[in-house]
Each structure stands twice: as C-alpha cells, then as structure tokens.
Amino acid sequence: MSTLDRFEIHEHDVLVIGAGGAGLRAAIEASASGASVGLVCKSLLGKAHTVMAEGGVAAAVANVDKQDNWQTHYKDTIKGGKFLNNWRMAQLHAQESPERVLELERWGALFDRTQDGKILQRPFGGHSYKRLCHVGDRTGLEMIRTLQDRGVHLGINVYMECTITKLLKDDGKISGAFGYWRENGRFVIFKAKSIILATGGVGKAYKVTSNSWEYTADGQVLAYHAGAEFLDTEFIQFHPTGMIWPPGVIGILVTEAVRGEGGILTNREGFRFMQKYDPERMELSTRDVVARAIYTENKEGRGTPHGGAFLDISHKGADYIKKKLPSMYHQFKELADVDITTGPMEVGPTCHYSMGGLRVDAETTSTSVPGLFACGEVAAGLHGANRLGGNSLSDLLVFGRRAGVHAAEYSKKNSTLRKINEQDLQQAEKEMTRFFENEGENPYMVHQDLQELMHNYVGIFRTEDDLKYAIENLKKLKDRAKTVKIDGSRMYNPGWHMAYDLQSMILYSEAIAKCAIQRKESRGAHSRIDYPNTDPECGKWNSIVKKSSDGEMIVEKMQLTEMPQDLKKLFEEKELIKK
C-alpha cells in the first residue's frame, strides 16, 4: 500500500486556501472560467476577517466628489505607502477597483445611497476625496456575504474548518497541499494544478490586536517553506483606534469611519492633539501618523485614564450616529457601557494589518514558486510602508480576481495533476503528530510570551537593542514551541491547532524583526527611535526574506523598480525628492 492510499484525497484544477474576501473573489473568478475549484478555510464560511472590515471599500467611482479619478487614488496610495509600493500594483488597484465595486452591486450587494440613488462614499484618512463606498459600518459583512452567495451558486467546493499545514511540490512546481480537518483531526490531501493563498495576516503574534485567532501567518510560512519570498515584513500597521477598556475588549477595532464621519481626537487635557502632528489633515491623517500621535501623547503623560485618547462623535447627534455607525454604537454600549451618542470613546493603537507578505507579480499575483499565487493581505507590494483605510477591501477584489484568472490559466496550461511525493507526506504527517509525544509546556503559554515579546520589542516604536533582544528571544521561543505538549485527542483540539500555528507565527515574527533591523530609518508604519528620519536612500529598496538551501533565513535588499514617467508626472517635484 502506498502512503497516499492512507489519506482522504480531493482533486481540483485550482485550490484556494483562505475564504475571506480575496479567497472568495479568486475562487469565483477561477470557477467562472471553467476550472474545478476547491476552497479551504480554517473557520466556517463567511466568518473570515473581511466580515470585520467596517468603514468601506476605496474606489474612485466619483459619485460624491466628481473630481476624483484613478490617478488621484493612485497618488494617495503611493503617498500613503511612502513611495515603497509596487507602482504597477498601485496602478492596477486604482484603475480596477471602481469596476470591482460596481460588480459587487450587480451580484446583489446593497451599499448606502446618495440622493440621486448611486453608491454613497465617505471620507477616510489619506484619501483626497470622499472615496469609500460603504454600508454603515458593516461594509465587510456586506461584501463577504455577497461573494459567499455568488460563490455557492457557481459550484465551488468549500472545505470548511480545514487547516493546510504543508504545500506539496513535484519537480519544483506546485502539486497539492496537506492538511487536517479541525473537527476530527484526520489528515487530508488536496491535489491541485495551482494554488492560491489568501490566508490573511499575522496579527495574532501581537498582544493587542484587532485580528482573530486565524491570523497566524499560515500562508506566508507555507509559501516560504515552498521557496517563495517575503517582501517588506517590517511594515505592520497599528490601527490608531482600538478599544482599550474594559480588559476583555482590548484591541477590538473602532472603525476609521468614526473619524471619517467627523470624530475628534483629544488627550486628557481636552487638547485636539492632531494639530501638532498633522495640522492639515488632522484626524484624517494616515494611520501610521495617528497611531504614533496617540502613543506619543501617552508616553508624554497626556493619555486618558486607560492609556489612550478620547474619540468623540457625539456632536453629530444620536440619530445620525445610529444610522451611520450602528455597530460602533452597539459595540460600546454593550461591551463597555459607553453611549457614544452622548460622550467620547477611549481608544488606542491595535495591531491591525500586515503590509508585508509574499512577493508577487503585479499582473498575475504569482509567487516565485510555479503554480503558487497569492492575493489579499498575505501578498505584499500594493500598500508599501503604510496602507490607507479602505484600500484592503479594494485590494482583495482587484487582486483576488486577478489571482483567479491567472491560477485558472496556469492550470489550463499545466493540465495534468502532478505527483505527490510520499516522503513529503510522511514528513508532513510527522510534523503534526509529533506534538502528542512531547513533554514540554502548554502551547498557550508560549503564545502569550510571543505576543508580549512582539508587543514590547517589535511594536510601534523600535530600536536596534530591542530588535536584537527580540531576535534572541524568538530563538528561545522557537525551541519551546517545538516541544509543546498536547493533551487530549486530535478531535477538535484547539491546543493542538495552536501548536502548529505557533511555528508559523514565530517564523514570521523573526522575519518582521530582522527586516526591522535592516531598515535603519523611519518610514510609514516602521518607526525607529534610533533612526527617526526618513532616508531617501532607503526609499530605493524593498526588504526581501527567503530560505537558504540549508534552511537559514536570509534577509536582503531588492532594488525598487522605477515608476514610469507618465505616472511620475502625477506627483510634484518636491514630493518625489522628499520620499
């Protein structure tokens, strides 16, 4: 009997891993082009992080501000990303997002309306015009439900509550994936001609985060071991406004739409402190600037009682707030006993998004591994050093679709399923079952120490000493994570699931810290106390991380491709010099 015969096997032209907005959009496109599509997700369908996106999706449809166009959206994205973005991705994103949003409407999404019956748009940080198409403050839910319902009618096979732990290759090309069913712990193999990773970010490596348990760098690390490269991992976005009280809700997102709708930030002295940090844009400055401002106010002793800032929208009146920000109203009322229609919220920075991730080709979303594609938060390049609010929902639509198109096309060109290497299977199995033979500690304890370490030493502000300390300690955590002990059986066992997730989080955390050391400047979301200025020389390269042939992590620099003249012309001379 071959090793293969022991496992449950499914076969598809295209396998999509991750069923948030990017994965669903990719699956829809691949399926529509005639490919047989499998869609694997760790949670139930419709529960991925996209559901928690609130404020809106950025697209220059120019329904409210007629002057808006893709060129301005492009410029805003590049300026927000501090010129480290992949210019081609930013161009495609700005050009294609209006069509992708209108397409959602044609599939049944119901955005809020303007007086003349079109999709309503609201202002957001770093966007020159009112650009965010939205549904109150539950835009993500509307999008994921629309995509989910579109998907189920296309005959996509959805494999819910399944975790992939290894990508399989044959002769250097993708041949499938190995994973387990969360429900019963049994292993499963997916044979596929191409694979799309859409697994999201890495927020769970941090103590204070808006991310759920799923965001553990799965896709990044699966691809790394398969030979793909990370790009710009040092750029982790701290959303300026997370809840900070009571303890149980710390980190839960407070949508930027509160500021978009006119919310005002003040410190304990009642001073509207954004005047000091960005007098022009004030509360609607970019997220990196606002998060640093709140942090600094606290460090200098002007924070609120629970260590944040006050955010007040009550001047807009109860009816308006309940209509435009209903879930914020309920969230504060029910979880914090705060009525935001009559008084301020207390907010502070929370780890929210990873600008870095897998290096992909702008047009096709392919990684450096043949047959492996990536889209959404797991991929990097579009957002540069800092992402603008609303640009991730448009990112996942634009590049989700592109991933679907190109993965399906790749599957057509490489039309036979490739071989599954038996040794790889045995190794993949061993990597998961070995935890039950361990005698170490509880995996949750290692996770807690990882979160503390990343929070304290690789957080909003960084120094060389802190980063070195973090790298030293990540090595120790890596050893501890290898020996964690698992109680119970393989049946729906969160401790066992955590044991695997830890390996990915620690590896990716190492990449964050190492790229953060390499970048000796401050730019966007990466702030070095020891190098507080932006260095134009550092604006010429991206960080690259890959695995050497002997398994070591290599960190290097890659020259940025220069923006073509027609796009350069959109910027003023001084903007280009200052970068």
Partner 1 sequence: MTSCTLKKEERSEHYCESHSSMKIATFKVFRGDINGGAEVEYKVPVEEGMVVLDAIHYVQKNISPDLAVRWNCKAAKCGSCSAEVNGKPRLMCKSRLDDFDLSKEIRVYPMKSFPVIKDLACDVSWNFEVNKKIAPFTPKPDTDWKMSQRDIDRVQEFRKCIECFACQNVCHVIREHDLKPKFAGPRFFVRVAGLEMHPLDTADRLEALKDDMGIGFCNITKCCTEVCPEDIHITDNAIIPLKERVVDRFYDPLKMFFRKIWGK
Other Cβ atoms less than 10 A from the Cβ of 566: the count is: 9
Out of 13, 29, 76, 142, the only residue in the binding site for partner 1 (CB under 8 A) is 142
* Least spacing, CB of residue 286 vs partner 1, in Å: 24
Assess 85 for contact with partner 1 (CB under 8 A).
Answer: no
**Helix and strand tally (H, E) in the chain?**
17, 20
Nearer to partner 1, 298 or 366 (CB): 298
Three-state SS letters, 111-154: CCECCCCCECEECCCCCCCCCEECCCCCHHHHHHHHHHHHHHCC
Number of Cβ within 10 Å of residue 191's Cβ equals 19
Interaction with partner 1 in 366-395: which residues (CB under 8 A)? none
Name the DSSP letter for residue 173: E
Among 9, 318, 445, 529, binds partner 1 (CB under 8 A): 445
Q: Does 183 bind partner 1 (CB under 8 A)?
A: yes
Selecting among 10, 239, 462, 523, the annotated active-site residue is: 239
301: contact with partner 1 by CB under 8 A: no
Token pair 């002990």 is at which residue?
A: 485
**How far is 519 from 9, CA to CA, in rounded Å?**
44
Contact between residue 519 and residue 463 where contact means Cβ atoms under 8 Å apart? no
213 near partner 1 (CB under 8 A): yes
DSSP state of 389: T
Q: Binding marks (x or -) toward partner 1, 311..330, rule CB under 8 A? A: ----------------x--x
How many other CB atoms are there within 10 angstroms of residue 405's CB atom?
19
Which one of the spans 6-14, 44-52, 69-77, 380-388 is the region binding partner 1 (CB under 8 A)? Answer: 44-52
Binding of partner 1 by 31 (CB under 8 A) = no
Residues near 301 by beta carbon (within 8 Å), at least 6 away in sequence: none
98 touching partner 1, by CB under 8 A:
no
Find out whether 36 and 101 touch, Cβ atoms under 8 Å.
no
Q: 400 in helix, strand or coil? A: helix
| CA 375/CA 360 separation, integer angstroms | 8
Of residues 247 through 276, those in contact with partner 1 by CB under 8 A are 247-249, 252-253
Residue with smaller CB distance to partner 1, 191 or 207: 207
Nearest to 491 by CA among 562, 416, 436: 436
Known catalytic residue: 12?
no
Using an 8 Å Cβ cutoff, are 425 and 4 in contact? Answer: yes
- Before 305, cis peptide (omega within 30)? no
| Nearest to partner 1 of 110, 570 (CB atom) | 110
Nearer to partner 1, 145 or 419 (CB): 145
Give whichever of 115 and 559 is closer to partner 1, judged by the CB atom. Answer: 115
Q: Exactly one of 93, 134, 182, 259 is catalytic; name it.
A: 259
Half-sphere exposure (CA, 13 Å, Cβ side) for 428? Answer: 28
Annotated catalytic residue 259: yes
Which of 20, 30, 51, 21 has the alpha carbon at shortest distance from 156? Answer: 30
Contact between 471 and partner 1 (CB under 8 A)?
no
Residues 6+ apart with CB under 8 A from 270: none
**Rounded to the nearest whole angstrom, what is the least distance from the CB of residue 183 to partner 1 in the complex?**
5
- The residue within the footprint of partner 1, chosen from 9, 99, 108, 572 (CB under 8 A), is 108
Please tell me what DSSP assigns to residue 315: G
Pick from 335, 417, 471, 560: which binds partner 1 (CB under 8 A)?
335
Question: Is residue 190 within a helix (H) or strand (E), and if so which, with residue range?
Answer: strand 187-197
CB-nearer residue toward partner 1: 3 or 483: 483
Binding positions for partner 1, 476-505, rule CB under 8 A: 476-477, 480, 486-489, 491-496, 498
Task: Let me know: does 18 contact 219? Beta carbons within 8 Å.
Answer: yes
Please say which residue, 151 or 356, places its beta carbon nearer to partner 1.
151
Which residue of 158, 197, 379, 525 would you call a contact of partner 1, by CB under 8 A?
Answer: 158
Contact status: 339 vs partner 1 (CB under 8 A):
no
Residue type, 57: V
Q: How far is the CB of 132 from partner 1 (least distance, A)?
A: 17
Which residues are paired to 11 by β-bridges? 191
Does 307 engage in binding with partner 1 (CB under 8 A)? no
Among 65, 409, 431, 441, binds partner 1 (CB under 8 A): 441
Closest approach of Cβ 28 to partner 1, in Å? Answer: 12
Segment lying near partner 1 (by CB under 8 A), choices 40-48, 172-180, 359-367, 459-467:
40-48
Question: Cβ 449 to partner 1, closest distance in Å?
Answer: 6
Shortest CB 40 distance to partner 1, Å = 15
Phi and psi of 155, rounded to 5°? Answer: 80, 25
> Residue 334 interacts with partner 1 (CB under 8 A)?
yes
Residue 333 sits in the site that holds partner 1 (CB under 8 A):
no
